[in-house]
Amino acid sequence: MIIPVVDTVKKHKKWFVAGAIVLVIFLVLRKLKIMTMINDIIEKLPHRGEYQQRSTDKIDRIIIHHSASPAGKFTVYDFARWHIDPKGRLNAPRIAYHFCIDPDGTVYQTNKLTSMSWHTINANATGIGIVLNGNFETEQPSDAQRKSLKNLIKYINDKLNKKLPVYGHKEIIGNSTACPGRNVKLDEFRNLS
């Protein structure tokens, strides 16, 4: 006996709809989980002004940094104070990075994506700067930091609706630095889907 296609579609329609609903719920929850893992402290950090702004259309890369200080010894608030210090080397209006990831995997958003913060010579106008708290010339990034960094990169790519290439600070021409340190395996964070 041949079952007409129309009867088969009608019979399984409710399962198809249920499956589609479950998929949508899963995707929404996944997005919310990533969003709730980001602690927006932009306005809580010390600052002396604002960076020049850009359109998110101009963003074309993600640049990974390390704090070059022992993991967890200093906080994102310390980094912000050093960056804005008028007598300091940077003398910036705000912290230099867009995000900071602590050793426990906590992610802080420290600048708007539209801010042209001063994290990388020759890439400030188009890059998103992410700093991992630690000295990865001598230490290893924690598993929690690595996991949070992967999730953050995916989140940024989803938010901007484009797949951004990932670089280490040292890979951008004009930057004489070991940052983000020899123990950050950059290939681990490239080509994430």
First to last CA, the chain: 45
**pLDDT tens, 172-182?**
999 999 999 99
- Assess contact for 174 and 121: CB atoms under 8 A: yes
Q: How many CA atoms lie within 13 A of 16 on its CB side?
A: 6
Mean pLDDT of the chain: 90
- Whether 148 has a pLDDT exceeding 60, the answer reads yes
Q: What is the per-residue pLDDT for 136? A: 98
Question: Which class for 98: exposed (0-12), middle (13-18), buried (19 or more C-beta within 10 A)?
Answer: buried
Q: What is the per-residue pLDDT for 17? A: 73
pTM, full prediction = 0.82
Question: To which CATH superfamily is domain 39-189 assigned?
Answer: Peptidoglycan recognition protein-like (3.40.80.10)
Q: What is the per-residue pLDDT for 18? A: 67
